[in-house]
Amino acid sequence: MAFFMKIALAQTNTTVGDFNGNVERIVRFARCARERGADLVVFPELALCGYPPRDLVEKPSFIARSEAELDRLAQLLPDIRALVGYVRRSGAEQGKQASDAAALLYRGKRVLDYSKILLAFYDVFDESRYFEPGNSAGLYEIEGWQLGVTICEDAWNDKNFWKKQLYTRDPVEEAVRAGAKLLLNIASSPFTSGKIRLRHDMLKAIAIERQVPVVYVNQVGGNDQLVFDGSSMAFNARGELCARAKSFEEDLVIFDAADGLGPKGEVEVRPGPASDVEAIYQALLLGLRDYVSKCGFAKVIVGLSGGIDSSLVVTLAADALGPENVLGVSMPGPYSSSASFRDAETLARNLGIDFRAIPIRSIFEDYLVTLDPAFEDRPRDATEENIQARIRGNILMALSNKFRSLVLSTGNKSELAVGYCTL
């Protein structure tokens, strides 16, 4: 039986808890997909409420809002099938009250509801704490072809790809055994170095092994400390890459399924990062930009010492937010060299950011006068030098409060591990 379907991979940047904004974004992408002739548009995991929702799913009102917004979304969508990730009531008498789910919407109705079976519980993931796992495969038939729906971790347990399996079930294998001729995997998979290539290799292996096309749609953007790179992709049944979205940007690409061996038309494969270093840099820019904007800030403040740590942070800030939104503050003290001040000033000028100098010598001396009786005539050591960092932190926070700007820490991991850095 001939099968032709254009599937749009809608790689969106959602905000946790912003139902109105997320719905607007989904509708906009769905309309664009319809204008480009897509028959089905696929959105990331929990695209409706944002990922990760964490303790928000402990609130019954949050789950109810998610389900109500899904029903509203179904009425707003154009005449196109849409697969959307959302939180729903699990219906379990015991256990967790929420499920990480995917709904296929068409003509104002849910025509499929699927709950994620494998819940990640390692590294940054704590899904089994919040969600009740699903139990059955998600299948939907279009023109005689069965589509198999899975969610993120569901695809990460292939016994032929992984030397060690974390779970006893393989939802991908179950879907294919149940008759799926095309696999859809919606995801919120955070970026780590090398992970884009790992996903590519894993999904390609699944397509070749199962002899079915694989469509993978990942979230993009920063939410809290997590950064999602997107890099959505689609493979035909031969394991050939037929569509790939941009990394670290919202995007919409079309995959022409065409009997599973497509594409029939133009291949949409966007180039990925040129190197691991470029990918890391782009991830830092995206994470910083989204954290600042999603927390309601427009500008940031960075303490400039003239050293490598603060120089890197302020360069990232200027690149991510624009130099007009960055304030560099030099706070020279009795232990500061004139060369370090000149370096900070030159860097600010080269970046085009606002720069201010606030000397702390007089404040530092007032501290010593106040602390002198308590120090009991003990000789000077690192204690006095470290007082500078506390003074600088107070100044940066005062500027933050006064100008409603976010302070960016310049501490490296070694310093943060022992609590030894300026904010």
297-417 folds as: Rossmann fold (3.40.50)
Q: Does the active-site annotation cover 116? A: yes
Q: What is the model's pLDDT at position 421?
A: 72
Q: Does the active-site annotation cover 67? A: no
List the domain boundaries for the chain: 6-276, 297-417
pLDDT class of 3 with cuts at 50, 70, 90: low
Q: What is the model's pLDDT at position 1?
A: 52
Q: Is the pLDDT of residue 260 over 80?
A: no
Give residue for tokens 């079930």. Answer: 169
pLDDT class of 274 with cuts at 50, 70, 90: confident
Instruction: State the average pLDDT for the chain.
Output: 94
- Candidates 6, 49, 69, 116; catalytic one: 116
CA dihedral 46, 176, 270, 259 (to 10 degrees): -130
pLDDT tens for each residue of 292-345 = 999 999 999 999 999 999 999 999 999 999 999 999 999 999 988 999 999 999
Of residues 271 and 408, more confidence is placed in: 408
Q: What is the model's pLDDT at position 413?
A: 87
Q: Is the pLDDT of residue 265 over 80?
A: no
Q: Does the active-site annotation cover 45? A: yes
- Candidates 45, 127, 174, 268; catalytic one: 45
- Candidates 152, 268, 294, 421; catalytic one: 152
Specify the pTM: 0.93
Angle at 43 between CA 38 and CA 48, to 5 degrees: 135
Average pLDDT of 178-197?
A: 97
Average pLDDT of 103-123?
A: 97
Q: Is the pLDDT of residue 263 over 70?
A: no
Average pLDDT of 39-65?
A: 98
Give residue for tokens 């904007």. Answer: 293
Q: Is the pLDDT of residue 45 over 60?
A: yes
Q: Is the pLDDT of residue 267 over 60?
A: yes
pLDDT tens for each residue of 203-255 = 999 999 999 999 999 999 999 999 999 999 999 999 999 999 999 999 999 99
pLDDT class of 363 with cuts at 50, 70, 90: very high
For 252, what's the count of Cα atoms within 13 Å in the CB-facing half-sphere? 22
Q: What is the model's pLDDT at position 126?
A: 95
CATH architecture of the domain 6-276 equals 4-Layer Sandwich (3.60)
Q: Is the pLDDT of residue 2 over 90?
A: no
Return the amino acid letter for 99: S
Sheet holding 326-330, edge to edge: 354-357, 326-330, 300-303, 406-407
Q: What is the model's pLDDT at position 336?
A: 86
Average pLDDT of 397-417?
A: 93
Distance CA 151, CA 191 (A): 17
Q: What is the model's pLDDT at position 264?
A: 52
Short-list 57, 75, 77, CA closest to 66: 57
Q: What is the model's pLDDT at position 102?
A: 99
- Those residues whose C-beta lies under 8 Å from the C-beta of residue 3, and which sit 6 or more positions away, are 143, 144, 145, 181, 257, 258, 259, 260
